[in-house]
Amino acid sequence: MTHMLKIAFLSVSLLLWGVQASTPASAADEHDRGRAQPRPEARGPAVRPGPRPEVGRPSFDGRGQRLDNRYNHGRYYPPRGTVLRSLPDGYRPYYRGGSRFYFSGGIWYEPRGPGFVVVSPPPGLVVSVLPPYYSTVWIGGAPYYYADDVYYTWQPNQNGYAVVDPPDNADAPSPPPSQQQPPDSAQGDLIIYPKNGQTKEQQSADQFECHDWAKGQTGFDPTQPGGGVSGNADAARSNYDRAMSACLQGRGYQVN
């Protein structure tokens, strides 16, 4: 009986020793597996590749000016809120609603403390000359003049261009009218040169509108026999030419 107990005790001891010896190895294997393959919850979310940068002109130039490429305008302007210590050369002062504004190169400024801040002009403000670089866009059959997120329209009764709110369908410009170029007889002997880099399309639209305005101001229509007026047609034609020239010069053309 004593011999049998000794054998049993020895067997149990050997079994316990085998279990203890195998436990560190299992823990080491588990530890190594944990380092080789992270747990799912430790992995970050999958990152999708973002859109490739648009090829073309950069959105900002080296001076921090923003590209205005609406309607293929293609000009750089300082962002709204940019502060300057002094105004650029050649600025013009304007007043609207008791507030003072300054206009230069298509950019609007308002006095703010010791400096001047780039702002959006208020609707209704009328300027005598359009920005040096502008884009003519036809919306709803009417021409608008666009530069630096600002829309202008010609106001014959004020002989200038008024700042207006963006039209409702500004994102859907229409093609220009097929007959926006006035007949040759409407231009007479006027020789017109674009001074501000106007495109042929812009010049065509400007000449048509100036012809229409000059006709309304003088009552003389060079496309009609005798100008469509009674009396001295030569004097009426001279008045029409002066009105036509003044309108075109106000839009940045040299007229000879």
pLDDT bracket for residue 207 (50, 70, 90) = confident
- Residue 135 CB: number of other CB atoms within 10 A? 21
pLDDT bracket for residue 29 (50, 70, 90) = very low
Mean pLDDT of the chain: 77
d(CA 252, CA 132): 8
pLDDT bracket for residue 30 (50, 70, 90) = very low
Residue 187 predicted with pLDDT over 70: no
What pLDDT does residue 175 have? 79
Closest CA to 125 of 86, 164, 157: 164
Residue 201 predicted with pLDDT over 60: yes
What pLDDT does residue 13 have? 55
SS3 string, 75-108, reads EEECCCCCEECCCCCCCEEEEECCEEEEEECCEE
- Residue 229 CB: number of other CB atoms within 10 A? 17
pLDDT bracket for residue 23 (50, 70, 90) = very low
d(CA 146, CA 148): 7
Burial of 40 (0-12, 13-18, 19+ CB in 10 A): exposed
Closest CA to 79 of 63, 59, 65: 65
> Of 39 and 158, which is predicted with more confidence?
158
Of 22-36, 145-159, 240-254, least confident by mean pLDDT is 22-36
pLDDT tens-digit map of 116-133: 999 999 999 999 888 888
What pLDDT does residue 31 have? 43
> Of 94 and 134, which is predicted with more confidence?
94
pLDDT bracket for residue 10 (50, 70, 90) = low
pLDDT tens-digit map of 70-95: 998 889 999 999 999 999 998 999 99
What pLDDT does residue 28 have? 42
pTM of the complete model: 0.54
pLDDT bracket for residue 102 (50, 70, 90) = very high
Residue 239 predicted with pLDDT over 90: no
What pLDDT does residue 47 have? 36
